[in-house]
Amino acid sequence: MLRILHDTKYDFIKPWRIAIGITVAFIATGLIFLGVHHGLNRSIEFTGGTLVQAEFAKRPDVGDLRGTIDAAGFRGAEIQQFGSDTSFTIRAAGHQTTGGKVENTATEIQTALEQKYGKANVHIARTEIVGPRVGDELSRNAMIAIVISLGITLLYLAFRFEWRFGVAAVIATAHDLLSTLAFLAIMRLEVSLTVVAALLTVIGYSLNDTIIIFDRVRENLKKARPEPLYDVLNRSINETLPRSILTHVTVAAATLSLLLFAGEVIRPFSWIMLFGIVTGTFSSIYIAGPVLLWIERRWPRTSGGKAGPSAKSTKAAPPRPTSPRTPVGAR
Amino acid sequence: MSNLKWRLAIIGVLCLASVWALYPRNVKVRQRRADGTFFDTTTYRVPLRKGLDLQGGMHLALEVDDSKGVVTNKSEAIDRALKVVRTRIEGLGVSETVIQKSGNDRILVDIPGIDNRERAIKIAQDQAFLEFQITDKTGAFEKALPRLDGIAREKGFGGAVASAAGATTPSASAPLGGLLTTGTDTTKGAASAKSDSARKDSVKADTATLGAGGPISKLILGGQMPGQFLFERANYDALKLFFESPAAAAALPPGKVVRFGSDSTVIGNKVYRSLYLVDERPIITGEYLTTAKPNQSPLEGTIVEFTLNNEGGRRFQRETAKHVHDYMAIVLDKVVMGAPPVINSAIGTRGQITMGGKDLQAAQDLALVLQAGALPVPLRVAEVRNIGPSLGQDSINKALTAGTIAIVLVVVIMLGYYRFSGMLAVGGLALYVLYTLAVLAGFDAVLTLPGLAGFVLSIGIAVDANVLIFERIREELDRGKTVRTAIDEGFRHAMSAIIDSNVSTILTAMVLYQFGTGPVKGFAVTLIAGIVASMVTSIFVVRTFFLVWLNRSRGAQTLSI
């Protein structure tokens, strides 16, 4: 049978300082980007404003286009190419319309474009108009959704495992949230509702990964022979490694096909998912494990477990149960 | 043995149910003919609902507009408004509209396939408050003009507007009443001579006191009937603003209000609009209206004919009997529709609203909103999204391509790595796709673009449970277990990891559903359906496949995994 990374004995926990150093550096870079760009690049769903996606018959001159939009009274509107070079999005903040009605902005932009390029040469594929209050509400709801989902996870894991596991998993997940936000900031991806959905998917996915390792830890801890948690963790990560690799590969395959073929609208979603696979894997191993050890050292369970992350314990896990390996049915 | 038969039977039933749920069928669709009547028709298609972002259409969020007065109980007001908006939007005759309350103060309206943004907004948002008000015949407006002029001077009204008026119409400063003869000479000469002379008396008395004319009075000319006044179209915005101010309203005699007209009149080479002074108390309102339908009349152009219910009819008759020879303004949302007709005798239950130069569609829409009733509170637009149908189709095509490629890649990986067992997993994956789509169709869930992306993604995630199980089986085989035991143990041991990880993902998705809107809700639904289906296929279906295989190759010593 074809096997990858089978029966490995890597010490995953040992380089925890390096791992945390890398992730802190990455998140710090994200923060710097946030500072430089004055926050995340939020979509109009959050900022309020008007977005018009216009398809032109032939490629318009961007300067010309900007002039037209400026002349229509939308100074400072963002104009971006969207996918193909005949497709543009025009994003205007605020609603400085004549009638004072929010819904007129899109019509004004459309009229201006049709006057300039002719009705036949420009087609409005999509418009979005969002009032300012809606955006505030969405931001709040997105925050609430994330906090509640973390809280529910904590409760569920505390119920199914133990509070230590729950806290470790939630901290690892919170790390994924932070590093994904850093990724968003560095890539300047537009944060829309779909991106929030992707963020929550990343949370779910990373949690999935952590739980599968913790499930193995739970199982290995139940075994009669007491073993330091440090070794149990390492052994569990090693044992679940083939599964992790294979699952990540299949999910990455699906995500890559989304990124490459599913078009512009879904692209930010795909980018985040792709990054989420990386950070989810990383945090399940390098964050959840050491944090669990740290919690264990601060608040030890009554039985077993002595080692902390800094404890220079045995390098490799003890030999596996003595059952002889029978090579079975390789084809 | 019988256990295995049961398992196969359950899978078979699930498959049949799924195929049945997804089988293309006739779906009833309500459509609207050009004349505004409805007919039901059927289309033949797979019963999966496409979201607005996939089929094109409009999403509209309306909220209570409290800028014009405090609304005390928003939630209750929205509930009542929701009924009205629903009746109106459903009257549009577009199938699969979704109208729902969101939070406490918002109405969400989804209209698939509509291309006219402004029209849909107007239909949903128009308050459609219909009133019949008698125009003033006591010359109260003329008497109030000096006071209005005073207020206008204090507030600095004169400046920009007066100069604009001066530039366009020097004659506008002619004293009030000076144009009366011009007025009666126009096409609208139908205004009866009787009323004209009656008014002249009162006007004459006023012109003396008006003198050179203040900032307001110099813009306003007498109209063709009592209580009607004309002004140049260019001054509309300024005058509207002025008369909406509380100070101006207070300067009018008690019980009288100013309403602007919907039509414009051409006198000579200038375009005039009208304003009316009317009794504040309507003789009747739209609440008694039972039917309204658009029509075309050779004399008046497009009209909306309406009938009142019995109570309304009695009241209308009583009131109109009191006001014979008066003019009755038909006021919709504070705007006088058409020229107020004179009441010749008591009117019963029927009437009509003339639409001026508007087209038949405008009459249809007015009939629609009148019949649905007035909105209890004014609504304003909080959010509009409009997606063209071609963009939606493009998204579907791209998502299908991505999905196909994702499936091929996953199948190749699973077959390459797990060989025969991988084939069983791929069989499970095929059923997974079938079940997920069936669940979506069964719950009448809406497929959105993020939902499709989530579905493609879930194809990658769905094999995770299989991977967990297979790795577990390999471990058990490594420990020297027989094939049958290894499979049993593998499934048993992988179970806790599968359940814990999937349940926590479902919990996250449920939170997403609770707090998300539109496309994100669709995403959460797809995710939940996908997780449930993947658990069923990996734990139950693939297990059954293994059992079948074990059964057919009794005493198999090796397993290709």
Categorize the per-residue pLDDT at B165 as very low, low, confident or very high, splitting at 50, 70 and 90.
Answer: very low
HSE (CB half, 13 Å, CA atoms) of A17?
A: 5
What integer pLDDT is reported at residue B270 of this predicted model?
82
Q: Is the pLDDT of residue A189 over 70?
A: yes
Q: Is the pLDDT of residue B320 over 70?
A: yes
Any B CB within 8 A of A174 CB: no
Categorize the per-residue pLDDT at A65 as very low, low, confident or very high, splitting at 50, 70 and 90.
Answer: confident
Any B CB within 8 A of A54 CB: no
Is B559 a member of any domain? no
The answer to whether the CB of B541 falls within 8 A of the CB of B74 is no
Number of domains chain B is built from = 3
Question: A207 and B512 in contact by Cβ < 8 A?
Answer: no
Nearest residue in chain B measured CA to CA from A140 = B515
What integer pLDDT is reported at residue B195 of this predicted model?
38
Please check whether residues B298 and B439 belong to one and the same domain. Answer: no
Please check whether residues A115 and A171 belong to one and the same domain. Answer: no
Question: B387 and A193 in contact by Cβ < 8 A?
Answer: no
Any B CB within 8 A of A208 CB: yes
Categorize the per-residue pLDDT at B38 as very low, low, confident or very high, splitting at 50, 70 and 90.
Answer: low
Number of domains chain A is built from = 2
Please check whether residues A158 and A113 belong to one and the same domain. Answer: no
Question: Shortest Cα distance from A32 to chain B (angstroms)?
Answer: 29
Is B286 a member of any domain? yes
CATH number of the structural domain spanning residue B116? 3.30.70.3400
Residue B107, strand partner residues: B62, B101
Is A327 a member of any domain? no
What integer pLDDT is reported at residue A302 of this predicted model?
64
Please check whether residues B51 and B138 belong to one and the same domain. Answer: no
What integer pLDDT is reported at residue B166 of this predicted model?
38
Please give the mean pLDDT across all residues of chain A.
82
In whole angstroms, what is the distance from residue B427 CA to residue B483 CA? Answer: 20
In whole angstroms, what is the distance from residue B241 CA to residue B38 CA? Answer: 41
Q: Is the pLDDT of residue B355 over 60?
A: yes
Please give the mean pLDDT across all residues of chain B.
79
What integer pLDDT is reported at residue B173 of this predicted model?
38
Question: A130 and B417 in contact by Cβ < 8 A?
Answer: no
ipTM: 0.81
Please check whether residues B207 and B264 belong to one and the same domain. Answer: yes
Is A323 a member of any domain? no
Question: A261 and B398 in contact by Cβ < 8 A?
Answer: yes
Roughly how many angstroms between the first and final C-alpha of chain B, as a whole number? 24
What integer pLDDT is reported at residue A185 of this predicted model?
92
The answer to whether the CB of B434 falls within 8 A of the CB of B487 is no
Question: Shortest Cα distance from B478 to chain A (angstroms)?
Answer: 5
Residues of A in contact with B61 (CB under 8 A): 131, 134
Question: Shortest Cα distance from B414 to chain A (angstroms)?
Answer: 8
Residues of B in contact with A177 (CB under 8 A): none
Please check whether residues B211 and B326 belong to one and the same domain. Answer: yes
Task: Check residues A245 and A307 and name the one with the higher pLDDT.
Answer: A245
What integer pLDDT is reported at residue B68 of this predicted model?
67
Residue A84, strand partner residues: A82
pLDDT tens digit sequence for A79-108: 888 878 888 888 887 654 444 566 677 888
Please check whether residues B88 and B8 belong to one and the same domain. Answer: no
What Å distances lie between residue A109 and A72, A106, A119, B167, CA to CA? Answer: 7, 5, 13, 31
The 10 Å Cβ neighbour count of residue B518 is 23
Global pTM reads 0.73
Interface of A with B in 60-89 (CB under 8 A): none
Question: Shortest Cα distance from A88 to chain B (angstroms)?
Answer: 13
Task: For residue B480, give the amino acid letter.
Answer: G
Nearest by CB: A193 against B403, B457, B520: B520
Average the pLDDT over each of A52-66, A77-91, B82-96, B451-465 and give the range with the smallest value: B82-96
Helix, strand, or coil (residue B70): coil
Question: Shortest Cα distance from A158 to chain B (angstroms)?
Answer: 12
Proportion of chain B above pLDDT 90, given as a percent: 13
Is B76 a member of any domain? yes
Beta pairing class for B270-279 and B228-232: antiparallel
Nearest by CB: A249 against B381, B413, B500: B413
Proportion of chain B above pLDDT 70, given as a percent: 84
Picking from A82, A105, A130, the residue at the C-terminal end of a domain is A130
What integer pLDDT is reported at residue B525 of this predicted model?
83
Please check whether residues B465 and B490 belong to one and the same domain. Answer: yes
Nearest by CB: A251 against B461, B501, B512: B461
Q: Is the pLDDT of residue B197 over 60?
A: no
Question: B457 and A201 in contact by Cβ < 8 A?
Answer: yes
Proportion of chain A above pLDDT 90, given as a percent: 28
Is A309 a member of any domain? no
Helix, strand, or coil (residue B511): helix
Any B CB within 8 A of A148 CB: yes
The domain in which residue A86 lies consists of: 49-130
In whole angstroms, what is the distance from residue A214 CA to residue A160 CA? Answer: 11
Please check whether residues A115 and A244 belong to one and the same domain. Answer: no
Average the pLDDT over each of B7-11, B131-135, B175-179, B268-272 and give the range with the smallest value: B175-179
> What's chain A look like in SS3?
CCCCCCCCCCCCCCCHHHHHHHHHHHHHHHHHHHHHCCCCEECHHHHCEEEEEEEECCCCCHHHHHHHHHHCCCCCCEEEEECEEEEEEEEECCCCCCCCCCCHHHHHHHHHHHHHHCCCCEEEEEEEEECHHHHHHHHHHHHHHHHHHHHHHHHHHHHHCCHHHHHHHHHHHHHHHHHHHHHHHHHCCEECHHHHHHHHHHHHHHHHHHHHHHHHHHHHHHCCCCCCHHHHHHHHHHHHHHHHHHHHHHHHHHHHHHHHHCCCCCHHHHHHHHHHHHHHHHHHHHHHHHHHHHHHHHCCCCCCCCCCCCCCCCCCCCCCCCCCCCCCCCC
Please check whether residues B93 and B153 belong to one and the same domain. Answer: no
The 10 Å Cβ neighbour count of residue B233 is 15
What integer pLDDT is reported at residue B26 of this predicted model?
72
Q: Is the pLDDT of residue B213 over 80?
A: no
Is B366 a member of any domain? no
Is A89 a member of any domain? yes
pLDDT tens digit sequence for B386-432: 888 788 888 889 999 999 999 999 999 999 999 999 999 999 999 99
Any B CB within 8 A of A247 CB: yes
Question: Shortest Cα distance from B23 to chain A (angstroms)?
Answer: 26
Q: Is the pLDDT of residue B201 over 50?
A: no
Please check whether residues A153 and A237 belong to one and the same domain. Answer: yes
Q: Is the pLDDT of residue A312 over 70?
A: no
Task: For residue A250, give the amino acid letter.
Answer: T
In whole angstroms, what is the distance from residue A150 CA to residue B504 CA? Answer: 10
Please check whether residues B165 and B58 belong to one and the same domain. Answer: no
Please check whether residues A100 and A155 belong to one and the same domain. Answer: no
Nearest by CB: B456 against A152, A203, A257: A257
Please check whether residues A148 and A125 belong to one and the same domain. Answer: no
Please check whether residues B318 and B299 belong to one and the same domain. Answer: yes
In whole angstroms, what is the distance from residue B217 CA to residue B362 CA? Answer: 34
Question: Shortest Cα distance from B94 to chain A (angstroms)?
Answer: 20
Most confident of the ranges A40-49, A85-94, A154-163, B454-463: A154-163
Nearest by CB: A331 against B53, B517, B560: B560
Question: Shortest Cα distance from A230 to chain B (angstroms)?
Answer: 21
Mean per-residue pLDDT, A261-278: 90
Question: B497 and A251 in contact by Cβ < 8 A?
Answer: no
Is B309 a member of any domain? yes
Any B CB within 8 A of A328 CB: yes
Picking from A104, A130, A156, the residue at the C-terminal end of a domain is A130
Interface of A with B in 262-291 (CB under 8 A): 262-263, 265-266, 269-270, 273
The answer to whether the CB of B442 falls within 8 A of the CB of B22 is no
**Which tokens belong to A172?**
């690892």
Interface of A with B in 118-147 (CB under 8 A): 123-131, 133-134, 137-138, 141-142, 144-145
Burial class (CB in 10 A: 0-12, 13-18, 19+), A78: middle
Task: Check residues B88 and A133 and name the one with the higher pLDDT.
Answer: B88
Task: For residue B404, give the amino acid letter.
Answer: T
pLDDT tens digit sequence for A8-32: 888 888 888 999 999 999 999 999 9
CATH number of the structural domain spanning residue A72? 3.30.70.3400
Please check whether residues B393 and B435 belong to one and the same domain. Answer: yes
What integer pLDDT is reported at residue B52 of this predicted model?
81
Please check whether residues A97 and A224 belong to one and the same domain. Answer: no
Is A265 a member of any domain? yes
Please check whether residues A73 and A193 belong to one and the same domain. Answer: no
The residue ranges of DSSP E strands in B248-325, in sequence order, are 256-267, 270-279, 284-285, 289-297, 301-308
In whole angstroms, what is the distance from residue B427 CA to residue B420 CA? Answer: 11
The domain in which residue B39 lies consists of: 30-125+380-387
Please check whether residues A31 and A159 belong to one and the same domain. Answer: yes
Any B CB within 8 A of A301 CB: no
Among B372, B362, B462, smallest CA distance to B411 is for B462
Task: Check residues B508 and B401 and name the one with the higher pLDDT.
Answer: B401
Question: Shortest Cα distance from A189 to chain B (angstroms)?
Answer: 16
Average the pLDDT over each of A86-95, A105-114, A219-228, A318-327 and give the range with the smallest value: A318-327
Task: For residue B471, give the amino acid letter.
Answer: E
The answer to whether the CB of A197 falls within 8 A of the CB of B523 is yes
Please check whether residues A164 and A139 belong to one and the same domain. Answer: yes
pLDDT tens digit sequence for B287-314: 888 888 888 877 777 888 888 888 888 8
Picking from A74, A103, A130, the residue at the C-terminal end of a domain is A130
Among A90, A43, A84, A81, smallest CA distance to A269 is for A43
Is B161 a member of any domain? yes
Is B561 a member of any domain? no
Question: A219 and B493 in contact by Cβ < 8 A?
Answer: yes
pLDDT tens digit sequence for B55-93: 888 888 888 877 766 777 778 888 888 888 888 887 776
Any B CB within 8 A of A329 CB: yes
Question: B504 and A156 in contact by Cβ < 8 A?
Answer: yes
Please check whether residues B169 and B89 belong to one and the same domain. Answer: no
Please check whether residues A33 and A65 belong to one and the same domain. Answer: no
What integer pLDDT is reported at residue A112 of this predicted model?
86
Please check whether residues A139 and A112 belong to one and the same domain. Answer: no
Please check whether residues B12 and B37 belong to one and the same domain. Answer: no
Helix, strand, or coil (residue B560): coil
Task: Check residues B203 and A153 and name the one with the higher pLDDT.
Answer: A153
